[in-house]
Structure 1
Amino acid sequence: SQIMPPIMGAVAFIMAETINVPFIEIAKAAMIPAVLYFSSVFWMVHLEAKRAKLSGLPKDQCPDPWAAIKLRWYLLIPLFILIGLLFSGRTPLFSGIVGLALTAIVIIGSAIILNVSSKAMRIVFWIALGVLCAGFFQLGIGVVFGVIALLVAICWFVKGGKETLTLCVHALVEGARHSVPVGIACALVGVIIGIVSLTGIASTFAGYILAVGQDNLFLSLVLTMVTCLVLGMGIPSIPNYIITSSIAAPALLDLGVPLIVSHMFVFYFGIMADLTPPVALACFAAAPIAKEKGLKISLWAIRIAIAGFIIPFMAVYDPALMLQGGGVLATVYVVLKATVAIGIWGVIFTGYLLQKLYLWERILGFIAGGSLILATPLSDEIGFCLALTFILQHAWRARKLKRLAQED
């Protein structure tokens, strides 16, 4: 969820403040890579399910999401308004305050009016509440807080109102508890940047990356990736981004990598550290649930999340993947190239498409995907030709095996 717009996570807002760009630019840059990543995960899980001959639940046993939306659609209103404010150019602080205030109004107002059976009364109530809140645009946030205070007072005299207020208090406590690490990390941003600058760590490390990058940008990226993965082992994503962005991101920027792309590069690999052995905190947290060893889960996680290791490199070599110049056609082309590469590598790391893959098929697919990822002359043409060859021959072989099985 930290990499998926429109909301993303706390790191995205810290990044916007750090590099002094609007949050919408961060969200735009993250959109295509996030869609590619989640599509890749779905694709690989689907292939693994096919390989294991798993089938889904009958439709009547699956929960109906539309029924849930129809029943509680009004709870989505604050989310849509929050997204609208963020993309209209409002600051995250302003958008967050308005979103939280509207969430409180919707929850407390629902506790009051849902006890009323008359549909007309409900409509009048929500219209009146909306008109009162509209005073915010003329009189400021005080109007919204006044509306919340009025609703809280009414809740004391409504059946189930006190229980709702108790839940709201618990939610506020949990929100404050979870915000403490974020607040501490934000407070330490300047301290960490000052330390790495005054001690010379930043300049030494950046100089080493620059020296390597003058001859080979790929090696500099690999070195930066390893640094982010090591620093991210056991460290939450927020302090991890703060440290790596102050040390590694400036070096990438000096090598000609666009500003947002360089920061997104270290951000992505800081998050991927949760899946990377030997620490892999997320995998070891999943181990008791899956009743399996954390190391085994982490090895599977790397295979399933292979797109997360590929996309940042592709974005550096072709910033159009993050909508950083190049135009519409360049973006469409790099998305097509990334989709084919990630799809092919998903197949070879799963070992199954229409049939189980032979070893030579895996090698062919690996070379095809690697050629599409590389940014060298003729590598794209070679990659597309090899990918087409891989798919056609595998489809022909699967069809032949199926026909032989039917004859037997």
Structure 2
Amino acid sequence: MANVLTTGQFTIPLMMRFGYRPAFAGAVEATASMGGQIMPPVMGAAAFIMAETIGVPFSDIAIAAAIPAILYFGSAFWMVHLEAGKNNLVGLPKDQCPSVLGALKESWYLILPLAALVYLLFSGFTPLFAGVIGIALTVALILGTRIVGFIGPTVLRVGFWVVLGLIAAALWRMGLRTEHLAFAIVGLLVLPCLALKGGRETLALLVQSLADGAKNAVGVGVACALVGVLIGILTLTGLASSFASTIMDLSGGNLLIALLLTMLACIVLGTGLPTTANYIITAAIAAPALLQMGVPLIVSHMFVFYFGIMADLTPPVALAALAASSICRAGHMEIGWIATRVAMAGYVVPFMAVYDPALMLQTDDPLAVAYVLFKALISIGLWGAATIGYFWTPMNWAERVFAAAAAFLFVLSLPVTDEAGFVMTAAFLLWQRHRLRRLGRTSAPA
């Protein structure tokens, strides 16, 4: 919700300005904001708790989440593209588009703290250590940038950073611990900022930012503590194991039914809860049911993690959609239903990963990964066409139902369903090409 309310202030009015209807703009923003929690390399706080819960390095969680996250955002991008084609929308003229390379060339150094954070996380350091170092580097970069602003020639500015690096290297060789070294460098930069013009304002802003971060962390800590009590009660009373047994009994040993029941349980349990508390609860009472049915450990926890997150997009509560409605001035439920369709990859990909764990890179066979990724892309492409009602040409309801059926055939990862899905996909493409020619065009619109 915080993501929607922050970035949505810019993105939603921009989308509406270019012709997207308000509800669709709000749904896209809600979908994209939710995706931040599943996108490596950092992901959300619940991903770090997952690593601690199942006893694997965080890097394993990030690697498993990579392809599903790409598919999630790829699905949202595809929906936006088809909506633009359906309504003949165009973006900014090329001469008005901002230059990505220009921005990187001008402010490339701002990515250094993030790069260091990611390096530490994937090098096996604890999230706590990596976070502390990342914060210290960010503070050092901000303070150092303020100081070099008063240094004239470029040579002297470069020399400042070189000297700072040499001081850090000298302190490290003296045996100073890494976290103590980081704080020493920050303290060294604070002193000149106290005397420079604007330095005190920069320090005040940093203190306020650190305080805001601490306040946000308190909410996560309290949620973990309270949910820990709840999990203890569920474990001691046997309710957690009985919940898993109930799902197995109701499913009758059928994996698809068990997955559907687990999905519904995760969405209901996650309604209105913060993601961290949501995952802790669902991992304690829902993931064991999947483990008992032979689903791999990481895949089972990623399954409940995904659907716990999707609860914030799923009506009737859909808190992310509620946040977006305050900006785009569209109906809360209308945004929620559109967001559910735009984010369909978040609902479908976990099922595909259960039936074929190669989608979460739980295999050493690159061909298996390439094949399941290819199927997932086709499925998302077909679902986008069915949702928007447009591919190369506008689609009627019969065509949309046909495309949706072909998309869902790829989920089960059975030879017969894959073959049927490919045949239906080919038929759909041929039909769309035929309609395109009937309309008097020889190529699809851009």
1:27 corresponds to 2:43: no
TM-score under structure 1 length normalisation: 0.96
**Aligned residues of 1:268 and 1:308 also touching (Cα < 8 A):** yes
Shift of 1:117: 1.6
Matched, 1:59 2:94: yes
Cα deviation, 1:301-322, whole Å, max 9, x if unaligned, reads 0111111110000000101100
SS state at 1:188 partner: helix
Matched, 1:202 2:240: yes
Q: Give, in angstroms, the shift of residue 189 of structure 1.
A: 4.7
Query: Is 2:80 aligned against 1:45?
Result: yes
Structure 2 gap segments, 5+ residues each: 1-35
Structure 2 counterpart of 1:248: 286
The alpha-carbon deviation at position 3 of structure 1 amounts to 0.2
Report deviation, 1:367. Answer: 2.1
Q: Identify the range of structure 1 (240-249 vs 53-62) with the bigger mean alpha-carbon deviation.
A: 53-62
Report the alpha carbon displacement of residue 326 of structure 1 after superposing the two structures with TM.
Answer: 5.4
Superposed CA deviations along residues 77-134 of structure 1, whole A, max 9, x for unmatched, are 1111111111111111111111111111111011001221211111111011122233
Please identify, of 130-139 and 108-117, the stretch whose mean Cα deviation from structure 2 is larger.
Answer: 130-139
Q: Please say if 1:170 is aligned against 2:208.
A: yes
- After the TM superposition, which residues 352-363 of structure 1 pair with which residues of structure 2 at under 5 Å, given as runs? 352-363=390-401
Identity, % of aligned pairs?
53
Amino acid at match of 1:36: L
How far off is 1:160 after superposition? Answer: 1.6
* Corresponding residue number in structure 2 for 1:371: 409
Q: Is 1:129 aligned to 2:167, yes or no?
A: no
Q: CA deviation at 1:214?
A: 4.5
Residue of structure 2 in register with 1:293 after alignment: 331
TM-superposition CA deviations, 1:57-76 (whole Å, max 9, x none) = 11333333333332322221
Match of 1:95 in 2: 130
- What's the CA shift for 1:325? 2.2
Q: Secondary structure at the match of 1:238?
A: helix
Instruction: For 2:254, give the aligned amino acid.
Output: N
Alpha-carbon contact 2:50-2:301 (below 8 Å) kept: yes
Distance 2:395 2:60 in 1: 41
Higher relative contact order (CA 8 A, sep 6+): 2
Q: The residue matched to 1:221 in structure 2 has which SS?
A: helix
Q: Which residue number corresponds to residue 387 of structure 1?
A: 425
Q: Deviations over 1:1-60 (max 9, x none)?
A: 110000111010000001110000000000000001100100011101111111101133
Q: Is the 8 A contact 1:132 1:143 kept in 2?
A: no
Q: Deviations over 1:263-297 (max 9, x none)?
A: 00001001111111111111011112111110010
Amino acid aligned to 1:33:
P
Residue type at the aligned position of 1:104: V
How many Å separate the matches in 1 of 2:110 and 2:365? 38
User: Which ranges in structure 1 are unaligned for 5 or more consecutive residues?
Assistant: none
Contact 2:267 2:310 (C-alpha < 8 Å) held by counterparts: yes
Matched, 1:212 2:250: yes
State the SS of the aligned residue for 1:39.
helix
Q: Hey, what's the Cα distance between the residues in 1 that align with 2:421 and 2:79?
A: 20
Deviations 1:380-399 (A, max 9, x none): 11111110110121112112
